[in-house]
Every structure is written in structure tokens, then in C-alpha cells.
Structure 1
């Protein structure tokens, strides 16, 4: 079964102490050379990186234009970003490789980015004329007897799910199987088990991170607490390169996945009832509501329940009663944790190997799309919401529920600020190069219409080039503290990019 991005998003019919290593005389000398090079950049005497020297030092490969393998290695997930050609792509097998990359490129005016899954909507992980540190070789997942999981920064979600399921454990995370664990976690990690188990970042116990000056830090609540706080929702690429994560996992129970489709003309009733319903259901139930543009727009509801179908049934009955219209179809299927995650991913009948990109021997293609977001702090007028989709064929609005365990933490407990929100809202539409301007205008119009309804926040993992006041939209009142952390760990802006915290 082949699924594009919309397939992933609409599956189920939904559419203190400092720990420093590797700072010997050679490393100190490298940092000294970087400072000197930085001065050269400041005076206009730009010296290109010594790519040959970096190639010789790396344990992994360094690919540049003209090298075999570069045409594929340079690509991110969104085909609309294929016009971006990095100067080099370094396959990093360890934190030491990341250090070598930073030593080589820092101070040369070369954009630097780490890439895990490559799903940055705007292609920030494959910067034009920059250095991509490809973390995919670091994808090992190890589960300790106490359920703690150490996950390499290059692991894809399907790999994390498979390894945890084999140990009888789970991690709440997203639905797309090829998304990298790094970007998802660092931006917060909204997923299909969030209402019961929290965001992915809420399960983060610690991380190994390489800073802009090539130090390797062990980060936790006790070690570098400000940085640990920032890594939980502050967005990928801002504070350093995380090379591994340590998560507190939970026992994996049996789950039930469900989907309800409603007839044409009932979108207002469905959307209004869903917003009231999801605010009151127990945290064991996660759901989304998908509106598809058209004339009229249509609505469908799906989700995942921690428990058997018998426990879910009365909750779905309550939704149908509130809608006042019978669904045209209703399914509820019991699943194991791994089977439920595969079902959500749109690869229920595939092997784990097939739930990978085509470039890695799997069956899942890349996609070409425009997507932006808002966050619903509270229910909005369903009639006005549905009106935003009227006539916009090919455009979907996906409302993913929050609440439950997400709301158990205060907005400033982690960098993710949207703790009291009802749902995230993603506006998504497929696009080609030729249709991109018109599709972008339509997507942005829905985004701005949501803001007019009071949904002014946004989710940083759905990063948006033209989002008004994006720093506040992504981070709310946490932005000043995030900027302070960025200034402390990357004072020279080595990791700066168009929507980095430093530039907010």
C-alpha cells in the first residue's frame, strides 16, 4: 500500500553540572581556528571550508555535487524543496562526526543543519549551499530492563515503534512512520497517544548534544537544566545537534483504532459536536476531526483508544448523538500497539521494512505539499470554521486533539506552550511547482481565517515561512527564555536559520 503525506495524516479513513567530552588539545585548536575564521567572515575575507579535510576525518561519507549518491542524499521529504542544493551532505555515524562537521564549517558563512527524517516542511534541514549533517546512521534503539529507551537521533518513528513493541513498551509520538524522532521530539511531539501519555518531549529524560563550539554535553533535569527545558518543545536546530535521546517509556497496552465518516452537508454539526465532545472524553481517547474542502466541505472523525472496543463504544455513541446525524460508516478495530501505529501510518499490511522511504528500500514515496498550522485554544464557531473550507477542493484541515496528559503540565514547564489548548490545526494541500503559488495562497487564507476565529498560536513542527509574529505563535510567553538559552549555547548564531529562536 503506497501512501503520500495526506495518507499519513488521514489514515484510518481520517485522511547545573557540565558533562564535556572530546575537548582535548586538537578540539581546542579547532575551536580556535573557527574563531579566527569567524573574524575573517566578519571582515569579508570568506574562506571556504576544507571539504577534503573533513572527508578524510569522517567515519561516514561526505557527498558533494557530482559524487555518486549525492542526488538522492541531498533530498528532503517535501518535493517542493528539491531546488535546494546543499554544498555537502555528511553521513554522521557518531557525535564525533558531528564535531568534525562543526569544526570544518563553523565560521565560514556556510549554513549548517542536522537532518534526522528530513521532514522539515520548508526544507530547513537541507539548506541551499550549506552542510547537512545526516544523522540517519545513528538510528539504534536500546530498551533497558526498567523501560528506559536510548534512541539514536537518526531513528525514524517506525523503527522506534518496532523496537519498543518488541520490549512491550510504548512512546507517544506521531503517525507518519518516516518522520525522524529528533525533529518530532524537539518541537514537542503531538501524537495519537498524547492525551493519555503526554507529548513525546514529556517523556524525554535526557539527551546527548553537540554544541556550536563542538562540546558534547549530557543534558538532563540535573545537568544543563535550562537546555533540557528548551529541548522539550523549543524546536529542532536551535541549540545544538542532539545525537541521542533517553526516553521514559510506558508499558504497551492493547489499543482500539476507530473511524467515522459523516454524510455530506453535516460538517458544521460534526465539527461543533466534536469540539465539545473531545473536551470531555477521558484521556484514554485521542481523536482528530478532518474537514475536507469542497462544496460543501465534508467531515470525518477518527482516533485511537487505550482499551478494548467495548470501552470505546459508548464514547462514540455519545459523539454520534451530539452530532445528530448517523455516520455513513463506523469502524472500531482492536490492535496491538505496533499494529495500531502501523495502521495510523497507512502501512497496516506492510512489513516494517516496507514502512520506509523508497530510497531506503521501503514502499513510501516522498510528497509534494504546502502545510501550515494554528492552535485552537478553545472551541471556535463551527459554522465559520467550515465556511473557511467552502469551495477549497483538495485542501484539508486536520484538528488533532490535545488535553488530557498534555494539560497536566504548566505552559512554562517545558518549552512547548500550548498546554491548555483544545487542538492543533494543520492546513494541508498537495501542490506541484506550477500550482504552488495558488495553493499557498489558499492554505494561508485558511490559516489567517483561523486566527480571526481566535486560533492565534501555531505548532513549530509545522513550520511556516509567512506566519505572522511566528516567534510568539510558536512559543508564547516562553520565547524570552528560549532566546536566552539560544544566546547562552550558540552566541555566534552558528545554528541560525530563517525561523530560528535567535531570529525571533
Structure 2
């Protein structure tokens, strides 16, 4: 019997027996429709129920409201709130906000009705049990960076893990059920920790490396469960590939351990199967790696004098990338920008400054000799790897690189890359992405790739994120990434192409927020068209679930490919009633877009 038939049969039997506990029923076109409850509807918890949850979580239940609710009566407080929107740490510390303010015709950042500011797995379990018993929409937020609104839903109960941010290094970690022969150096990270917390403990203080995200304020748990890529993934694989063990609260309220020995299928699903889908992760243990001596970067712009010169520049760079950069040392991105500009923002590991300059010499010599380009000499610099995420080091060396959390009492290590600050609170107009297979780098295919890149860039900026495709990595990193739930195409891709655009923060109720919806839709359409040439040369290539289109077509195949049926089996085992439902998450095809109404 097919899954949908099983679902209908089980729901029908429950209704005949008197209805599913806590679920309201309605009639639509003669079919029973089951839905989660909202405030003001039958079944919404009363004051005594909420007080019970407050006691069960040691007073950590919060009633939420928009931070702009008082703007009409307190202009100074409102101005202070708006100023804090420039600081991603301040945004993350507010349970009523998300790091993205919305997406045109998709979603808007709106606070949950209540939040449990969890400090341990028992708090999380209490919230999960409460949501299941009362049939509430449940949302999980750590860093709050979900572009597609996965950590946001009005009228929901929010499990907010921000305070679960401890980081502990382990010299020889043995997974539960494993043997001493499996012992590896590792780091145990609470679900609310950000990558800057992990990098500070592992790299700055301990002199080792953990594979995480490039943005310092992204949550560890969300990145890992989405697959996750960072600046040096070309060397170490995806973030999920380093996961050794997870602690998770599943839909039945049980606190479980998942690793290669205990709940192994759940463990596999957590390695890239999507955040907020299989339960609430409360702790992760990640493998750490030996730290190379140096990290570094290459930054600059090269502007072509004509369209023909720009195409020649792109062709030269692609050939140069294939010959000199397509390896474990190089990551991050280049972008093709308006004005016929090639923007360089690459990073490297394991090379010193002289070695990096030698790698780039042939390409830069060609640019200088051609006479068709204007540019300043790119910055090529290497720094001690241990200082790469050290805000104090950058303040002395290059103050424009990082910006600290400037609030009084903020942790000294909390800093953000200046280039990431423009995303704080942004309102997305359109976002397209696709992996580009390494086969396109072969000599006979490079011309088609160059043509498609130039055609796309005539419509919109095109970014090539080389670290978000694992092809070119060492065999061990490829094997570890292949053993995750992420679409297998990631190991054959040399880059993730991203074409995206947005506008200023536009949180609902924020004074001065102004979205020109017609213009936003026009830009979104242009962004979609810009990706068409790349999809023609890389059809059915798949993409990264965490950085993709809200309106993604064929999302099951595009995000997970042949892994989706197995992921769906895991979902049905650990969350058969769909308590955890996110946009285009595993099993979400059973729910309507708002996450409240289940399809009949």
C-alpha cells in the first residue's frame, strides 16, 4: 500500500473512533481536514496550561511580541531597536526576530506566540511534549539564519536554544556504543552555539580546526543538519561529514543519542537531511582536525574594457582555476558583477603568502599583459591560522576585516566579518542556486561554461562558491561527505552558483520599512532568468538545501536526490505525525504552506 493510502486509512480510522486527541476537524469538499490549533481557536492552551509549561521549564517560558509594537508611543526606544538591527548578535539575542526579515511573496518574520528559552534537553523535551499534546505548530531557532523562514512561524511555540551555547573540547571522544579504537579528538557543542563560539574554543584557544560555516553568527546545529559548508570545505568536506554524535529530542519527547552505533539511521539523516525536521538537536559532537600553519585570502577586482574582453577574462580565469585552484587549498568565491567586473574573494589554507602569490602569478601576468583591464594589484595575504577568527588580532592587523559586537557586556570574541553585515535583516527578492559539475571544467566543456556564465551575468551578479562543491577535495573528505544525507551531486560539483538579490530590512511593523513589491517581483523574475543559462549546461545538478529558492521545483530530488526515500523512512519512524514541519523539509509534502493544515 502506498504511503498516502496508509495515511488516509489511519486518519480515517482515528476519526471514526472519535477523532484524534487535540486535533480540530473541518469539512472541505467532503474530506476531513486535520489542522494544528491557533490562538483563539478551539484547543488552544489556556492560561493554566501555559503556566504548567512555565513551571516545567523552570520559568523559561516567554510570551513574545514584535519588538516594534511600542514604536507608536516610544520613539527613542524604537530608534534604539532599529540601530540594533545592524548587529547580527543583537538580532540573534531577540527571540522575536530572525536574521532575514522576509522573502517577497513567501514569508515575513513574525514572532511566535510563546517561546521556551531552553537551557537543557529537559526544557526542550517539555516544550516538545506540550506542543504534541496541544497540537501546536512547533518552531526551532538557534542562530535564526534560515533564508526560507524555517525558524519563524506566527502563532507557534518556539523552542529557542540560544542559551545552550557551551563548547567543550574532548581529547579522545568515543561515541556511545563504540570502542576505544574509534576515539578521535572532538568538540562537543550546544545547539545554541554559533560558529564563532566553536572557532574561538577550538582554533584560537586550542590550536585545532573544526569544519564549520563561513559566517561567524550562524548556528552550529542548523548548519550541520543542513549539510553545511565553510571556507575550507574543499579540504575537510562538509560540516555534516565531521559529525560524530548528536543528542536530539524527538517528537515523542524522548532524549536520544544518535551516532553510527545508536539510532544510526537517524544519525545519517541528521547529517544534511535538513534542520528542524527530525527533532530538536540539543548537542553535537564534531571531529576536530590538525590546524594548518596558515590561512589566507586573495581579494580584488578586475574590470574589463569591453564585453569581448570580459568573456576572455572569464575564460582565462576558468582555465586558471582548473589548473591551479581546483584543489584542497582554495575556497570561497569569485563573482561576475555589473560593469564587466570580476570580483575576487578567495581564501586558502596550508600555503604561505609567497606560495599563494606564486599560484596566482600566471593569471595576473596575463591580465597585466593584455591591456584590456583596469585593476589594482589584488591583496594576497597569509596569517597564522590560529588567529583567523581572533577579533583582537584583526583589530591590530587589519581593522576593516572584522567588526565586534559593540554592545556593553558582549563577549570579547563575538565578531562578524564586515562583508557579512549587509545580510543582517535583509529582505529577499529572489534567490537561485545550482551546483556546477566538475565535468564543466574539462577542456572540451569550458567554452560552454564560460558562455553560460557571461550570459547569466548580463542579467544579474553571479557568484561561484567553490567551497560549496566538494569536487577536488582529498579522498577522505569526499568519502566522509558522500556518507551524509546531502545530495550526492555535491561531491561531483566544483562550485555552487548563487544568483540572489534583496533589499533593506523590512520587518513587519518596523517604522520606515518600505518594500516596493512590484520592483521586488521584477528583480525576482530577472534573477530566475539569470540562472537559466547555467541550468542548461548543468541540468538536474541539484543544490544546497539551506541556500536555495523558496519556490524550488522538484525539491525532494533537487535537495536530496536518491537519498530522499531513505530520509522519508526516517521521518516516518521518528516523527510519524509531522510535529516538525519546515518549508520543503522531508515529509512536508503532507502539509500546506502555512504548516498548520494537513492535506487530506
Whether 1:248 aligns to 2:261 is no
When structure 1 is superposed on structure 2, of 205-214 and 415-424 the one drifting more is: 415-424
Distance 1:193 1:355 in 2: 25
**Structure 1 residues 56 and 436 mapped into 2: Cα distance closer, same or farther (>3 Å)?**
farther
Post-superposition CA distance 1:437-486 (Å, at most 9, x none): 23322222223443223154110111421111111111111111111111
Post-superposition CA distance 1:393-436 (Å, at most 9, x none): xx452433432148622875211121111111222223243243
User: Where does the alignment leave 5 or more consecutive residues of structure 2 unmatched?
Assistant: 1-17, 27-36, 71-93, 173-184, 441-447, 505-514, 590-600
Residue 387 (structure 2) aligned to one of 332, 339, 357:
339
2:499 is matched with which residue? 427
Distance 2:364 2:57 in 1: 58
Post-superposition CA distance 1:243-295 (Å, at most 9, x none): 01101101222222222422235543444344444445463422344324424
**Structure 1 residues 260 and 60 mapped into 2: Cα distance closer, same or farther (>3 Å)?**
farther
1:447 is matched with which residue? 531
Any idea what SS the aligned residue of 2:485 has?
Answer: coil
Distance 2:408 2:463 in 1: 27
2:235 is matched with which residue? 196
**Structure 1 residues 308 and 123 mapped into 2: Cα distance closer, same or farther (>3 Å)?**
same
Give the conservation status (yes or no) of the 8 Å contact 1:357–1:363. Answer: no
Any idea what SS the aligned residue of 1:99 has?
Answer: helix
1:499 is matched with which residue? 584
Deviation at 1:119, TM superposition (A): 0.3
Give the conservation status (yes or no) of the 8 Å contact 1:411–1:420. Answer: no
Residue 192 (structure 2) aligned to one of 132, 150, 154:
154
Residue 354 (structure 1) aligned to one of 382, 401, 404:
404
Give the conservation status (yes or no) of the 8 Å contact 1:399–1:424. Answer: yes
Any idea what SS the aligned residue of 1:55 has?
Answer: helix
Deviation at 1:203, TM superposition (A): 0.9
Query: How high is the TM-score relative to the length of structure 2?
Result: 0.70
User: Where does the alignment leave 5 or more consecutive residues of structure 1 unmatched?
Assistant: 1-35
Post-superposition CA distance 1:209-267 (Å, at most 9, x none): 11011111111111111111111111111111110110110122222222242223554
Post-superposition CA distance 1:102-139 (Å, at most 9, x none): 11111544221211110000221111211221111111
Distance 1:273 1:173 in 2: 31
Whether 1:399 aligns to 2:442 is no
Any idea what SS the aligned residue of 1:329 has?
Answer: coil
Distance 1:453 1:109 in 2: 46
Distance 2:583 2:241 in 1: 27
**Structure 1 residues 186 and 350 mapped into 2: Cα distance closer, same or farther (>3 Å)?**
farther
1:328 is matched with which residue? 376
Distance 2:408 2:536 in 1: 41
**Structure 1 residues 234 and 228 mapped into 2: Cα distance closer, same or farther (>3 Å)?**
same
2:567 is matched with which residue? 482
Post-superposition CA distance 1:289-323 (Å, at most 9, x none): 43244243544352223221233233222444677
1:437 is matched with which residue? 521
When structure 1 is superposed on structure 2, of 170-179 and 66-75 the one drifting more is: 66-75
Q: Structure 2 matches for 1:81-480, cutoff 5 A?
A: 82-146=108-172, 147-165=185-203, 166-253=205-292, 254-264=294-304, 265=306, 266-280=309-323, 281=325, 283-320=327-364, 328-341=376-389, 349=399, 354-355=404-405, 366-370=424-428, 371-378=431-438, 379=440, 381-390=449-458, 392=460, 395-401=461-467, 402=469, 403=471, 404-405=473-474, 408-409=478-479, 413-416=483-486, 417=488, 418-432=490-504, 433-434=515-516, 435-454=519-538, 456-480=541-565
**Structure 1 residues 267 and 41 mapped into 2: Cα distance closer, same or farther (>3 Å)?**
farther
Higher gyration radius (CA): 2
Give the conservation status (yes or no) of the 8 Å contact 1:172–1:194. Answer: yes
Distance 1:137 1:381 in 2: 46
Deviation at 1:37, TM superposition (A): 9.2
Aligned residues: 466
**Structure 1 residues 41 and 302 mapped into 2: Cα distance closer, same or farther (>3 Å)?**
same
Query: How high is the TM-score relative to the length of structure 1?
Result: 0.83
**Structure 1 residues 350 and 178 mapped into 2: Cα distance closer, same or farther (>3 Å)?**
farther
